[in-house]
Chains A and B, each alone.
Chain A
Amino acid sequence: MPATSLTLDQIWNWLEEVIDPEIPVISVVDLGIVRELNWCEDQGEPKLIVTITPTYSGCPATAVIKEDIVTALRDRGITNVQIETQLAPAWTTDWLSEQGKRRLRDYGIAPPQRFHRQPVSGSSQSCCSESYAESEASIECPRCGSKNARMVSQFGSTPCKAFYVCDACLEPFDYFKCH
């Protein structure tokens, strides 16, 4: 069957199976990294353009994710694939799917919990005012559900996470930071 007769929905479903290399319970689609799929013509052959938005600038998982996407598509018979990296709009944890958040929690990682809106871009004072800092003081423990948790470290095992400990069940846990 020629590649172009595949619906994009089908391909989205396949990409749902491409798992984040550092958080192996959530897919690159759940994470909101894959932004767009488009077919185009490449010297008479159909070519699939996969547009992705990287999470953190230096996140080493990004390179692996690109390879994993190409491999997953090749395994399904789509060999002519181009990965386009799109920086703007910048990736945000608001793009995490509800399913993704649920999976994170089940895995023991507290999903991002936003309390305040980001400042409007261009307002020059906002980024440096104290009030900008999100109130991330009452993060819900993914194990016992208590909000009696405190931050131990602003950074956890990967750039996207912070490290917390729950004062109710005493378990430490990773928190996927708002970004």
Chain B
Amino acid sequence: MKKWGMGNADCGMNSDFTLRDPHSAFPISFFDYLLRLGDSCLILSQRLGEWCGRGPALEEDLALTNVALDLNGQAQLWLEYASQIEGEGRTEDQLAFLRDAPEFRNLLLVEQANGDFAMTIARQFYFDLWHSLLLQELLNSSDQRICAISEKALKEVQYHLRRSAGWVTRLGDGTEESHARMQRAADDLWQFTGELFEIDAVDEAMVQEKIGPDPRTLRIPWMDRVKSTFTEATLAWPDAGWMQRGGKCGIHTERLGYLLAEMQFLQRAYPGAQW
């Protein structure tokens, strides 16, 4: 098994688009950190929105899009803060609609395609669990605004987790067909979970300023809950293989480009269009 938390993931991407403070690299890291928080919410929200009108049942259609709505609201709060930290007059909307793929800082996990319902649920469960653990830690951030956003978001994410964990169990411990699909989804997406717990220079700067936790500390509670849920769901532990990385520093899978093409179409075609 590949080791987790392999030190600095230097992806060779310089953040040329971020603000430059001649006295300190800190604001750049902070801006990047806020983008990571916001972008993962935004991209997953967009993915979930693709289910609108196509859910396997009306109730699930509503649930998927309501989760999308919560995440979209959270993305707005994070990106609004990021835009203020950047201080170059880019609004949260411009950050969402006018950046290209290498400038996005979301986790690879959230940009993966919806696949079948099991795939969507596995992605959601892995993310919700990590997200709730992270937000819980961010309640103690030295940055008051991060505390406030996290407090608000955590309530929503805990509810998301109840749903996604519940579905993992129901599908895993369901029919032969649902079990097979849930297992496949859990296995296929496993390669994108390593990145959740890796630390790089941005995270280190946040740890130093007591703004955010060391991502490696989230791994054990995450693993514990995945284990207990998979046991209940009669799912086998996914085979450990190569862990993908790169999303946090702008190296994405090809899927993100297609997602952005759709999400950003309107603002690209009609710049500055207002609702």
Does A128 count as interface, using CB distance less than 8 angstroms?
yes
Does B210 count as interface, using CB distance less than 8 angstroms?
no
- Of chain A, the residue at the smallest CB distance from B155 is A179
Decide if A56 touches B73 in the complex (CB within 8 Å): yes
What 0/1 pattern do residues 127 to 148 of B give for CB contact below 8 A with A?
0010011011101100011011
Residues of A within 8 A of B69 (CB): 56, 58-60, 159
Interface size class of B (residues with CB under 8 A): 35 or more
Contacts A57-B73, A153-B63, A159-B70 known; A88 to B132 CB distance under 8 Å? no
Residues of B within 8 A of A130 (CB): 228
Residues of B within 8 A of A89 (CB): 151
Complex: A59 Cα to B69 Cα, angstroms? 7
Least CB distance, B263 to chain A, in whole angstroms: 15
Decide if A128 touches B155 in the complex (CB within 8 Å): no
Decide if B151 touches A177 in the complex (CB within 8 Å): no
Does B101 count as interface, using CB distance less than 8 angstroms?
no
Q: Which of A32-40, A66-74, A75-83, A117-125 is found at the contact surface with chain B?
A: A117-125
Residue from A56, A58, A155 within 8 A of B59 (CB atoms): A155
Complex: A97 Cα to B27 Cα, angstroms? 43
Does B149 count as interface, using CB distance less than 8 angstroms?
yes
Does A6 count as interface, using CB distance less than 8 angstroms?
no
Does B163 count as interface, using CB distance less than 8 angstroms?
yes
Decide if A127 touches B66 in the complex (CB within 8 Å): no
Decide if A59 touches B152 in the complex (CB within 8 Å): no
Decide if A57 touches B70 in the complex (CB within 8 Å): yes
What 0/1 pattern do residues 164 to 200 of B give for CB contact below 8 A with A?
0000000000000000000000000000000000000
Complex: A152 Cα to B68 Cα, angstroms? 20
Decide if A132 touches B158 in the complex (CB within 8 Å): yes
Residues of B within 8 A of A163 (CB): 59, 62
Residues of B within 8 A of A1 (CB): none
Residue from A57, A125, A133, A152 within 8 A of B152 (CB atoms): A57
What 0/1 pattern do residues 89 to 130 of A give for CB contact below 8 A with B?
111100000000000000000000000000001101111101
Residue from A127, A154, A179 within 8 A of B163 (CB atoms): A154
Residue from A122, A128, A179 within 8 A of B221 (CB atoms): A128
Decide if B62 touches A155 in the complex (CB within 8 Å): yes
Given A56-B73, A58-B68, 8 more pairs with CB closer than 8 A: A87-B148, A88-B148, A88-B151, A122-B139, A127-B132, A128-B221, A132-B158, A133-B162
Would you list 11 pairs from A and B whose C-beta atoms are within 8 A, ordered by A residue?
A57-B153, A58-B73, A59-B73, A87-B152, A91-B152, A124-B136, A153-B62, A155-B63, A155-B66, A157-B62, A159-B70
> Residues of A at under 8 Å CB distance from B?
54, 56-60, 87-92, 121-122, 124-128, 130, 132-133, 152-157, 159, 163, 177, 179
Q: Considering the complex of A and B, which 5 residue pairs feature the smallest CB-CB distances, nearest first?
A: A57-B73, A58-B73, A153-B59, A88-B148, A58-B69
